[in-house]
C-alpha cells in the first residue's frame, strides 16, 4: 500500500498508471486505507458542497470511494469514470464506464459536481483534464480535485504500492505546482473558491482544490 515518506535503498520499478492499477486493484479498497488518504478525504469532505439531488461524477473513480460518498450524501445521479478496467470491476458505483480524463463521454453542462481524488498526478499535463471538467460542469457547478502535494515529490517522495506477490512498485507521477493548476483552471473557466493543504508532522502532504464553474471561460 501507499505509505507516507517511504524510503528505499533502491528505487522500485516505476509503472505507468494503467498496468500499475491492474496489479493494485486486487487489494485496493473503496475507502481511505492509509493516513495520507484519510487526511485527503477529510479535506475533501470539508470543502464538499451539498450533494443532495445533484448529478455527480466520480472522475478517475478507481474502486469508487467518492462515488460511494456521493451516494451517502444523497446525490440524485452518481457515475464513475476511470481508465482502468481492473479498478472498474471492483468499483462500488452503480454506473461506471471506461474513459480517460482527457475525453469524457458526457454532454456539456450535464453535471452539478465532479469529484476527482488523487488522480491528476498521473497525468503529464493537467490542462486537458481541467478543460473537460469545465466542459461537463453546468454553470455554478463545483469540482473538488485532490493531488499529492508537489512539495513531497520535489523532495524525492514516491507513490508506491505492494502487489499481491509482495513486490513493491512506484506509480508514474508528475508534480504539478499549485500555481500552475490554479492558472490553467482559470484559463478554462474554473474559479478557485477554496484550497486546503493538509499536513503530516507539520509538512504538507496533499492539496485539495475547490473550483467553481464560471459562466464563461
List the one residue out of 153, 158, 214 whose CA is nearest residue 185. 214
User: Model pTM?
Assistant: 0.92
Q: How confident is the model at residue 216 (pLDDT cuts 50, 70, 90)?
A: low
- pLDDT of 198-214, one tens digit each? 999 999 999 999 999 98
**169-to-23, 67, 215 alpha-carbon distances in Å:** 10, 27, 43
Q: Architecture of 14-198 per CATH?
A: 3-Layer(aba) Sandwich (3.40)
Length of the chain: 217
Band of the pLDDT at 3, cuts 50, 70, 90?
very low
Cα torsion through 38, 20, 60, 66, rounded to 10: -30
- Could you count the other beta carbons within 10 Å of the beta carbon of residue 217? 12
Please answer whether residues 91 and 64 qualify as being in contact, where contact means their C-beta atoms are separated by less than 8 angstroms: yes
Burial of 26 (0-12, 13-18, 19+ CB in 10 A): exposed
Average pLDDT over residues 171-176: 94
Domain edges within the chain: 14-198
Amino acid at each position: 500500500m501507499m505509505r507516507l515518506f517511504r524510503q528505499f535503498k533502491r528505487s522500485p520499478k516505476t509503472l505507468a498508471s494503467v498496468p500499475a492499477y491492474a496489479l493494485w486493484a486486487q487489494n485496493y479498497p473503496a475507502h481511505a486505507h492509509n493516513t495520507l488518504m484519510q487526511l485527503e478525504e477529510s479535506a475533501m469532505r470539508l470543502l464538499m458542497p451539498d450533494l443532495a439531488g445533484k448529478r455527480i461524477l466520480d472522475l478517475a473513480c478507481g474502486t469508487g470511494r467518492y462515488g460511494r460518498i456521493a451516494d451517502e450524501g444523497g446525490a440524485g445521479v452518481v457515475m464513475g469514470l476511470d481508465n482502468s478496467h481492473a479498478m472498474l470491476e471492483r468499483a462500488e458505483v452503480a454506473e461506471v464506464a471506461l474513459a480517460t480524463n482527457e475525453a469524457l463521454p458526457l454532454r456539456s453542462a450535464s453535471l452539478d459536481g465532479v469529484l476527482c481524488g488523487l488522480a491528476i498526478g498521473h497525468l503529464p499535463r493537467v490542462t486537458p483534464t481541467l478543460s473537460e471538467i469545465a466542459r461537463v460542469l453546468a454553470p455554478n457547478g463545483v469540482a473538488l480535485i485532490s493531488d499529492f502535494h508537489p512539495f513531497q515529490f520535489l523532495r524525492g517522495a514516491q507513490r508506491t504500492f505492494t502487489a499481491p506477490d509482495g513486490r513493491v512498485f512506484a506509480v508514474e507521477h508528475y508534480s504539478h505546482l499549485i500555481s500552475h493548476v490554479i492558472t490553467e483552471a482559470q484559463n478554462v473557466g474554473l474559479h478557485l473558491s477554496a484550497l486546503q493543504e493538509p499536513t503530516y508532522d507539520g509538512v504538507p502532504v496533499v492539496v485539495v482544490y475547490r473550483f467553481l464553474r464560471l459562466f464563461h471561460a
